[in-house]
Amino acid sequence: MATATLHATDSQAHGHDHEHEHHELGFVQKYIFSEDHKTIAKQYLISGIIWAFFGGAMSIIFRLQLGFPNMDLTWLKPVLGQWIVEGKLEKEFYLALVTMHGTVMVFFVLTAGLSGTFSNFLIPLQIGARDMASGFINMLSYWFFFLASVIMFSSLFIETGPASGGWVIYPPLSALPQAMPGSGLGMTLWLTSMALFIVSQLMGGINYICTVINLRTRGMSFTKLPLTIWAFFFTAILGLLSFPVLLSAALLLIFDRSFGTSFYLSEIYIGGEALPNVGGSAILYQHLFWFLGHPEVYIVLLPALGITSEIIATNSRKPIFGYRAMIGSMLGITFLAFIVWAHHMFVTGMNPFLGSVFMFLTLIIAVPSAVKAFNYITTLWRGNIIFTPAMLFSIGLVSLFISGGLTGIILGNSALDINLHDTYFVVAHFHLVMGAASFFGLMAGVYHWFPKLFGKMMNKEAGYIHFWLTFVGVYCVFFPMHYIGLAGFPRRYYSFTALGNGRMEAFVDMNMFISIAAILTFLAQAIFAVNFFYSIFKGKRAPQNPWNSNTLEWTAPIEGIHGNWEGEIPAVYRWPYDYSKPGSAVDFIPQNVPYSATPESNFPEENEEIAKEKEIEGLLDSQNSSYSH
Amino acid sequence: MTYLIGLLSVVFFVLAIMIVSKSMSLSKGIQGTEQDQDTPLDGANNANAIGFIVFLVLGSIGAAWSFLHSKPDLLPIAASEHGLKTDKMFWVSMGVITIAFFVTNALLFVFPFMYRYKKGNIATFYPVNHKLELIWTVIPAIVMAVLVFTGWRTWRDITSQAPDNAVVIEVTGHQFGWYVRYSGNDDNKLGNNNYKLIDATNSIGIDYTDEKSFDDFTANEIHLPKGVPVLLKIKAQDVLHSVYLPYQRVKMDAVPGMPTKFWFVPNKTTDEMRYITGNSDFNYKLNCTEICGSGHFGMAITVFVDEPADYAVWCKQQKPFLTQNPDFLAKVPEKLKGKAQKYIEAPAAALDSTQASGATPAAATSLR
């Protein structure tokens, strides 16, 4: 289907680009407006990496303010211009940095960069499909994201500054330009950008779901799917069901801002005048926002967990422990993710009874999360572990997921949340459990699939150094942050002078320490950037299956051809985790090896599967016709 | 501070050196056999495995040391009755998660070391164990159930209806400060207010068609009686704000158009806290914890918790807003003018200057 579309457009447009062979794509179609999932994945990845450096740099600037409040920042004036006043960061710009850091990291790096890259790249390759269900929609998805990026980026350069009301942009602050400068044009651009971003996510999500359901190769039943695919599948469902709610929240906010409606506004006196709006509810926005906002946590986390499952199994040379329990827990998390949103709102004045209900539901979600953590640990047990950089980042992810997840048990308890809500304890919690953990998933994925993405190997030693510096750095930044939160330091504070009673002074050291650790961790990412871009061009050529992995993508040609496989797509006969199977001479048996070829390692029930192999073979014709060859 | 930076630099430095030297020596030795995929780089592999143990040991020491170091400043002394309960629950929950934290992280870092790649070793094919999975599904579920239940009971008590004898105080957030209104010395009831009545003087839009407003007084600081339930009625004028009393463990958003509330019992006076902390300048603060604009971080008001007797004296000293701004008598409807009149000082003062001096104490008494 996808290839057919490609060929059709190929023969119509851009004829002048074709000086070579007839079916060779032109530069624009091959690298820019590409419909090939592998190219789109790379586009997402590189956009994500660029955004990550911007988002990280923003955090460094506000960490300078928090760690060194008396520092003379005049040296930043060439970059920040009028946002530096008399050597100090402007208070509004501080809030703008906090807001944009959150927006960029959550949406552009960890949603688009992570899920966009690996769902696009791995779904067709691991399920055995020639491409996405619709290459064209997939291309649109990236370019909508690109447009959203351009608009968001442009908002950094306007005079009134980018959106500054926090990444959650709660109205009325975000609805009233007179409330802060960032709620003017900056917020308009933010909302426009996010609307386009949501469109991009929906197009991507529909594609992922369709592809997983319809385009699996013969023999690839749902119970033979790698856990990466399960994770991407659940992620896409989460996004598809929750992003539209954010879109409507954003639309209503646009109406309130531009067309005088009162969805979120009521009884407001600001700037010396009483506004006419009555009857709206600021809490309504929060419900709508967090109906996406909470699933969003799992939208960034589940792909990282899926990637980790695959990498830990491969490099432990062991099957993932509890394959079905892993799927079940992801299903549980996916379902529960929709009904825990109001734990972000315990102290907003919401009915306390609702608070009780959401506390109950929130603490339930700890159970499937705990199961996942235990299963990862058991997978390591009695393995034969190879520490590739990807494996290191995966183990790091599990550690961060546990450490950050545990404090969720405290915050999910509404009685305890009263004191800790909107303090640095929350900041520490979610940076560990969703920020750093998902970032580690992204890194693990890049190191693991780089040979497949670019046909080259990354430098391992640089990868090790990158991991250890980042891992130690992340803990040094976010572990002490819990203490600051427990001392009652509210987040989004430009300075802590108003706390009084020597409370600020008690944590001056700690804040300085965190800032230094953050700067070092950020600088350590340069090792990755150099390694990444250097290896794309100068890296050693990758072997066919560098990690001796079972999944289907490693059977495809190294150079990543259009349509993924030459000739027939391989059929699948077994699950993806036959590592170190007793009786087998090699410690891995890829999914496309039939049971009939491995009588020495088959379990009794697997010998019965041999009979079905003929059946799987017989599906070839129908599969070929479904790809319209 | 120097210790902290020193510690950090040492950790970074040692790790970097360790890994660089290991991998350098390794890549030298391995160059000939690079293409051989069946022998992973043993040396670097061991170094990384040891790295996890080093991380576990140094990390545990760092976690324990940093905790003990900052313990005195964590959860500032609780100064409300429910705060004592939630603090206790916090430390119990913290104990549970600390155990889980150390056990799981230790296993996570020890296993990679124990089961690092060794030539000739074969990993155990161990795909599933239903009993094991059942155990670690049920145990967290039970622990969660206990935590939820205790949490729910405390939450229910905290958010229950305020007792009838509660002192009612209205706190209104605006960019960037807090307005405070007391329900007055006569009726202990707050009068209505309306954002459309706000002007330069009447900054919270007190409605003088409501007779309950007449004795309400405003203040630039908050006074609370110790040991008596206090009901905060929380409002916002422009954008979201959030009332945060860190010592009293009180937090509740202020939402424009939707009044919220929080009741609690302060149990330590400002003087007691000054004594406990040894800081004679100690003052409770009410901070803002919901981003509200450039002045968000400085949006604080001082709170005094007094002995009930001192609190009563302070209240008696306050003059109703109407007394301080007699012009607002004009807004009072005709039929209530009589009731409002007694809060107007000016005629009394005029009376005082022309007539016998006995009238003044009478008028003043009526204020109280």
pLDDT in tens, B62-117: 999 999 999 999 999 999 999 999 999 999 999 999 999 999 999 999 999 999 99
Rounded to whole angstroms, the Cα distance separating B308 from A475 reads: 47
pLDDT digits 0-9 by tens, B303-332? 999 999 999 999 999 999 999 998 899 899
Chain B CB contacts of A494 below 8 Å: 294, 296-297
Q: Does residue A192 lie within any of the structural domains?
A: yes
Of A385, A419, A469, nearest to B86 by CB-CB distance is A419
Chain B CB contacts of A176 below 8 Å: 238-239
Q: Does residue A26 lie within any of the structural domains?
A: no
Q: Which of residues 360-389 of A touch B (CB under 8 A)?
A: 360, 363-364, 366-367, 370-371, 373-378, 380-387
A418 → chain B, closest CA residue: B251
pLDDT digits 0-9 by tens, A291-310? 999 999 999 999 999 999 99
User: Averaged over A235-259, what is the pLDDT?
Assistant: 95
Q: Which helix (H) or strand (E) holds B306?
A: strand B301-306
Chain B CB contacts of A323 below 8 Å: 127-128
Please tell me whether residues A531 and A565 are part of one structural domain.
Answer: no
Chain B CB contacts of A170 below 8 Å: 240, 290-291
Of A269, A359, A395, nearest to B108 by CB-CB distance is A395
Q: Does residue A76 lie within any of the structural domains?
A: yes
Please tell me whether residues A537 and A559 are part of one structural domain.
Answer: no
Q: Is the pLDDT of residue B37 over 80?
A: no
Pairs across A and B, CB distance < 8 A? 395
**What's the farthest any 2 CA atoms get from each other in chain B?**
114
Rounded to whole angstroms, the Cα distance separating A153 from A173 reads: 21
B4 → chain A, closest CA residue: A513
Answer whether B77's CB lies under 8 Å from B273's CB.
yes
Q: What's the pLDDT at B7? A: 59
Give the residue carrying structure tokens 């308009």: A188
A506 → chain B, closest CA residue: B73
Please tell me whether residues A184 and A99 are part of one structural domain.
Answer: yes
Rounded to whole angstroms, the Cα distance separating A140 from A146 reads: 10
Answer whether A326's CB lies under 8 Å from A374's CB.
no
Q: Any alpha helices (H) in B80-209, and if so which ranges?
A: 81-114, 130-158
Nearest chain A Cα distance for residue B349, angstroms = 34
3-class secondary structure, B188: coil
B51 → chain A, closest CA residue: A468
Cis status, amide bond into A172, omega within 30 of 0: yes
Structure tokens at A144: 């909508």
Q: Does residue A371 lie within any of the structural domains?
A: yes
Q: Does residue A20 lie within any of the structural domains?
A: no
Q: Which helix (H) or strand (E) holds B177?
A: strand B177-182
Q: Among A95-99, A142-146, A442-446, B33-37, whose mean pLDDT is lowest?
A: B33-37
Structure tokens at A426: 């929350």
pLDDT digits 0-9 by tens, B108-160? 999 999 999 988 889 999 999 999 999 999 999 999 999 989 999 999 999 99
Q: Do A498 and B285 touch (CB under 8 A)?
A: yes
Q: Does residue A547 lie within any of the structural domains?
A: no
- Strand pairing partners for A385? B116
At A187, the amino acid letter reads M
Q: What's the pLDDT at B356? A: 40
Structure tokens at A265: 């506004």
Chain B CB contacts of A264 below 8 Å: none
Q: What's the pLDDT at A24? A: 67
Q: Do A490 and B298 touch (CB under 8 A)?
A: no
Chain A CB contacts of B1 below 8 Å: 508-509, 512-513
Q: Is the pLDDT of residue B1 over 80?
A: no
Rounded to whole angstroms, the Cα distance separating B293 from A183 reads: 10
Mutate to test the interface with A, among B50, B111, B268 (most CBs of A within 10 A): B111
B149 → chain A, closest CA residue: A360
Q: Is the pLDDT of residue B357 over 50?
A: no
Q: Does residue A19 lie within any of the structural domains?
A: no
CA atoms in the 13 A half-sphere facing the CB of A425: 25
Structural domain total, chain A: 2
Backbone CA torsion sign across A460, A464, A465, A466: positive
Give the rounded distance of the alpha carbon of B184 from its chain centre: 28
Please tell me whether residues A252 and A307 are part of one structural domain.
Answer: yes
Q: Does residue A486 lie within any of the structural domains?
A: yes
Q: Which of residues 256-295 of A touch B (CB under 8 A)?
A: 265-270, 274, 278-283
Of A265, A363, A517, nearest to B8 by CB-CB distance is A517
**What's the farthest any 2 CA atoms get from each other in chain A?**
84
Q: Do A548 and B37 touch (CB under 8 A)?
A: yes
- Give the residue from A413, A427, A317, A302 showing the smallest Cα distance to A361: A413
Please tell me whether residues A496 and A367 are part of one structural domain.
Answer: yes
Please tell me whether residues A576 and A524 are part of one structural domain.
Answer: no
| A170: contact with B, CB 8 A cutoff | yes
- Give the residue from A181, A178, A152 showing the smallest Cα distance to A164: A181
- Give the residue from A349, A185, A187, A178 showing the smallest Cα distance to A275: A178
Q: Do A347 and B292 touch (CB under 8 A)?
A: no
Rounded to whole angstroms, the Cα distance separating A53 from A123 reads: 27
Chain A CB contacts of B4 below 8 Å: 509-510, 512-513
Nearest chain A Cα distance for residue B354, angstroms = 41
Write out the residue range of the structural domain in which residue A603 sits. 552-626
At B334, the amino acid letter reads E
Give the residue carrying structure tokens 């070391």: B113
Q: Rg for chain B (alpha carbons), in Å?
A: 32
User: Averaged over B176-181, what is the pLDDT?
Assistant: 95
Nearest chain B Cα distance for residue A597, angstroms = 19
A488 → chain B, closest CA residue: B246
- Give the residue from A527, A500, A569 showing the smallest Cα distance to A219: A569
- CA dist list (Å): B363 to A252, B328, B352, B358, B360: 55, 19, 10, 9, 5
Cβ neighbours around A469 below 10 Å, total: 22
User: Averaged over B338-342, what is the pLDDT?
Assistant: 87
**Residue ranges with strand state E in A464-574:** 540-541
Q: Do A384 and B11 touch (CB under 8 A)?
A: no
Q: Are strands B230-236 and B167-174 parallel, antiparallel or unpaired?
A: parallel
Give the rounded distance of the alpha carbon of A434 from its chain centre: 9
Chain B CB contacts of A371 below 8 Å: 133, 136-137, 140
Q: Compute the CA torsion angle A46, A49, A50, A54 (nearest 10 deg).
A: 170
Structure tokens at A394: 């995966």
Rounded to whole angstroms, the Cα distance separating B226 from A509 reads: 35
Q: What's the pLDDT at A199? A: 96
pLDDT digits 0-9 by tens, B234-278? 999 999 999 999 999 999 999 999 999 999 999 999 999 999 999
Q: Is the pLDDT of residue B197 over 60?
A: yes
pLDDT digits 0-9 by tens, A161-187? 999 999 999 999 999 999 999 999 999
Q: Is the pLDDT of residue B5 over 80?
A: no
Q: Are strands A269-270 and A273-274 parallel, antiparallel or unpaired?
A: antiparallel
Q: What is the pTM of this model?
A: 0.91
Boundary (domain end) residue, out of A491, A517, A541:
A541
Q: Is the pLDDT of residue B355 over 50?
A: no
Cβ neighbours around B271 below 10 Å, total: 16
Q: Among A26-35, A124-133, A211-220, A513-522, whose mean pLDDT is lowest?
A: A26-35
**pLDDT category of residue A28 using cuts at 50, 70 and 90:** confident
Taking phi first (over 0 means left), then psi (-120 to 50 degrees means alpha), and beta for anything else, what does residue A271 get? left
The mean predicted confidence, pLDDT, of chain B is: 86
Q: Which of residues 563-592 of A touch B (CB under 8 A)?
A: 577, 579-582, 587
Q: Do A384 and B49 touch (CB under 8 A)?
A: no
Q: Is the pLDDT of residue A134 over 60?
A: yes
Q: What's the pLDDT at B101? A: 95
Please tell me whether residues A558 and A510 are part of one structural domain.
Answer: no
Please tell me whether residues A521 and A574 are part of one structural domain.
Answer: no
Structure tokens at A112: 């688009």
Tell me the CATH number at A133. Answer: 1.20.210.10
- Residue A267 is given by DSSP the state S
At B159, the amino acid letter reads T
Please tell me whether residues A402 and A482 are part of one structural domain.
Answer: yes
pLDDT digits 0-9 by tens, A422-475? 999 999 999 999 999 999 999 999 999 999 999 999 999 999 999 999 999 999
Q: What's the pLDDT at B342? A: 85
Q: What's the pLDDT at A10? A: 40
Instruction: Tell me which of B341 and A329 has the higher pLDDT.
Output: A329
Boundary (domain end) residue, out of A521, A541, A561:
A541
Q: What's the pLDDT at B16? A: 59
Q: Which helix (H) or strand (E) holds B362?
A: helix B359-367
Answer whether A173's CB lies under 8 Å from B291's CB.
yes
Please tell me whether residues A280 and A148 are part of one structural domain.
Answer: yes
Q: Which of residues 401-460 of A touch B (CB under 8 A)?
A: 402-403, 406-407, 409-410, 413-416, 418-419, 421-423, 460
3-class secondary structure, A396: helix
Q: Is the pLDDT of residue B368 over 60?
A: no
Measure the N-to-C terminal CA separation of chain A; round to a whole number of Å: 8
Chain B CB contacts of A419 below 8 Å: 75, 83, 86, 90, 246, 249, 251
- Give the residue from B72, B7, B57 showing the smallest Cα distance to A516: B7
Q: Which of residues 532-551 of A touch B (CB under 8 A)?
A: 543, 546, 548
Rounded to whole angstroms, the Cα distance separating A471 from A482 reads: 17
Nearest chain A Cα distance for residue B49, angstroms = 8
Rounded to whole angstroms, the Cα distance separating A280 from A286 reads: 12
| A156: contact with B, CB 8 A cutoff | no
Please tell me whether residues A115 and A182 are part of one structural domain.
Answer: yes
Boundary (domain end) residue, out of A516, A541, A566:
A541
Q: What's the pLDDT at A151? A: 97
Give the rounded distance of the alpha carbon of A6 from its chain centre: 29
Chain A CB contacts of B27 below 8 Å: 461
Q: Do B251 and A421 touch (CB under 8 A)?
A: yes
Q: Which of residues 313-352 of A touch B (CB under 8 A)?
A: 316-325, 347-349, 352
Please tell me whether residues A620 and A482 are part of one structural domain.
Answer: no
- CA dist list (Å): A281 to A175, A265, A273, B255: 12, 6, 20, 9
User: Averaged over A534-542, what is the pLDDT?
Assistant: 95
Q: What's the pLDDT at B349? A: 46
